[in-house]
Amino acid sequence: MAIMHKLKVAVIDYEMGNLFSVVRACEYAGLSAVVTSDKSVIMASDAVILPGVGAFGDAMHNLRKLDMELPIKEFIETGKPFMGICLGMQLLMTESEEFGNHKGLNIIEGRVIKFSAENGGGKRGKIPQVGWNRILFPVRASENFWLNSPLQGIRSGEFMYFVHSYYPVPSAEDAVLSTTEYEGTQFCSSILRRNIFAAQYHPEKSASEGIRIYKNWASIIGRQIEERNGKKA
Amino acid sequence: MSKNIRIIPRLDIKGPNLVKGIHMEGLRVMGKPEQFARYYYETGADELLYMDIVASLYGRNSLHDIIAKTAREIFIPLTVGGGLRTLDDIRDALRAGADKVSLNTAAIGNPQLIREASRKFGSSTILISIEAIKQPDGRYLAYTDNGREHTGIEVLEWALRVEELGAGEIMLTSIDREGTGTGYDTELTKMVSGSVSIPVIACGGAGNISHIGQVISEGKADAIALASVLHYDFIKNNEVEIDAANEGNIEFLKSGRGFLKVEPANLSEVKNYLYAKGVQCRCNGTAEILSGHNA
């Protein structure tokens, strides 16, 4: 059965950075995106994106100020697709060492740590990482590792656009969907955990392969709704 | 793996037109910016840079329409600069579709704007453009308004200051070399890039592909901005749309001439050259490269 209405995505607005490119990428992928910090809009959406650029501590402060912590957790518990991007990925973790220690949303167990200023050769590396870098299969992953995930159809070694000084270290190794290497450090660049997909890079700024992630994610949302409707009928 | 060098086409905008000058003066109309932007996106540009180069002079910003059209279909980072003076100006540019903004004149006049803007929009959104002119005594001084206004501020001192104030990146333009096709100022680039930990985009002077290799290997640039080399290649190989209502100097476009000092190249040629020199960059045909080099 075809879905008659456009799939609705809530892009959470918590006053951290520029959300417009996320909205445009959603629209390009056929999703109807609304920027909001209204709990009822979030809960009524088919999927939710937590974007974000800026400092971890400020971001958590704003999420609490806007009473967003609980709605995010409640939405994730519904099992509907949830995407965290960049800082929005890091906020899902237990804690971050950014400017002292900060508690995160603790939805995915793990820490957020900073790139070491010293790289392998003893030279000083540039931090933040700003630019394109490869996302790779984790070690020991099979050729089909990204099948049915938002990374389906993307080649291991494809370039995505990154802007960050910190990266997540999930406690569960099987949460790691892709890894990336920067200045001698191998880090987790995407996470897949139940209904949560999270990326340290910006798919909405990563050209056609980044847009493919949004399109894959839109298909995942659509399939889930069809399944749910199927069960009801 | 070390970092990947970004290649950023720079589009100078005047009114509705893409223009190119020499030392930012004597502007020639090249065509419609959207047409160039689309082509650069499709051929592997890592980011795009739009500069409204007369905005500071007239205190206007006419870029919003062009930004909005571009942002709807182009999904790589888009930096916009020229005439942005306040937090509201920055917000409007971001709302129109920019991912980052470039500040120069306003930041030098009020350095606290850098701190406020990076707090509000995130450091990675704030790029500081430094326009440098080498003095007879060898010092580099920062200028504003496309190299017209002297500030008396030393470039290196200013670069360190903007990093401390929260800037995410520095675009470093040599006004001496800008538009001349005689090569980047590698000495200037190295001085700044070696002293700050934020990325430095080298700008001004590229006349051929080897100049690009040089400013990366010797100048330690983290990214490079390219205008003439790409624009003249585009004009040579594409039908350029010219508006009937075009304002400005279009004589050279009609004459079909190129620019003698510049050897045009497209983005693939630039990236293949860099790749062959061992410079890491994002290339088209990733998988082929991977299988060949076992990265």
CATH code at position B279: 3.20.20.70
CA distance A213 to chain B (A): 12
Q: Does residue B163 sit within a domain?
A: yes
User: Quick one: average pLDDT of B6-31?
Assistant: 86
Contacts of B148 (CB under 8 A, 6+ apart): none
Q: Does residue B186 sit within a domain?
A: yes
Cα separation, B152 vs B141, whole angstroms? 6
User: Quick one: average pLDDT of B204-230?
Assistant: 95
At A4 the pLDDT is: 57
For residues B286 and A158, is the Cβ–Cβ distance under 8 A? yes
Cα separation, B92 vs B86, whole angstroms? 10
At B24 the pLDDT is: 63
**DSSP summary character for residue A90:** H
On chain A, the residues whose CB falls within 8 A of the CB of B282 are: 132, 159
**DSSP summary character for residue A125:** P
Distances (CA, A) of B219 to A103, B145, B212: 41, 25, 10
Active site residue A204: yes
The predicted complex's ipTM stands at: 0.91
Residues of B labelled as active-site residues: 12, 131
At B1 the pLDDT is: 47
Q: Does residue B1 sit within a domain?
A: no
Cα separation, B174 vs B136, whole angstroms? 15
In the predicted model, is pLDDT for residue B9 greater than 80? Answer: yes
Structure tokens at B277: 């020199």
Cα separation, B195 vs B12, whole angstroms? 28
Q: Is the CB of B92 inside 8 Å of chain A's CB atoms?
A: no
Q: List, for residues B131-148, the tens digit of each pLDDT value.
A: 999 999 999 999 998 788
- Give the confidence band of B114 by pLDDT, cuts at 50, 70, 90: very high
Q: List, for residues A24-63, the tens digit of each pLDDT value.
A: 999 999 999 999 999 999 999 999 999 988 888 889 999 9
In the predicted model, is pLDDT for residue B77 greater than 60? Answer: yes
Q: Is the dihedral of CA B172, B177, B183, B189 positive or negative?
A: negative
Q: Is the CB of B257 inside 8 Å of chain A's CB atoms?
A: no
For residues A160 and A119, is the Cβ–Cβ distance under 8 A? no
pTM to 2 decimals? 0.91
Alpha helix positions (H), A34-188: 39-43, 56-65, 69-77, 87-90
Cα separation, A17 vs A49, whole angstroms? 14
Q: List, for residues A10-21, the tens digit of each pLDDT value.
A: 999 987 767 888
Cα separation, B82 vs B91, whole angstroms? 14
At B21 the pLDDT is: 79
* Total domains in the fold of chain B: 1
At A121 the pLDDT is: 47
Q: Does residue B11 sit within a domain?
A: yes
- Average per-residue pLDDT in chain B? 87
Phi, psi of A35 (to 5 degrees): -85, 125
Q: List, for residues A82-125, the tens digit of each pLDDT value.
A: 999 999 999 999 999 887 789 999 999 999 999 987 654 445 67
Q: List, for residues A171-182, the tens digit of each pLDDT value.
A: 999 999 999 999
- How big is the A-B interface in CB pairs under 8 Å? 106
Cα separation, A175 vs B264, whole angstroms? 47
Worst-scoring range by mean pLDDT, A41-55, A118-132, B248-262, B268-282?
A: B248-262
At B94 the pLDDT is: 87
Q: List, for residues B30-43, the tens digit of each pLDDT value.
A: 889 999 999 999 99
Q: Which domains does chain A have, with CATH numbers?
A: 8-232 (3.40.50.880)
Task: Write out the H or E segment, with its range, that includes residue A20.
Answer: helix A20-28
Cα separation, B41 vs B264, whole angstroms? 18
CA distance A96 to chain B (A): 18
Q: How do strand B169-174 and strand B200-203 relate by DSSP bridges?
A: parallel
- Domain limits for position B103: 6-293
At B207 the pLDDT is: 93
Q: Is the CB of A128 inside 8 Å of chain B's CB atoms?
A: yes
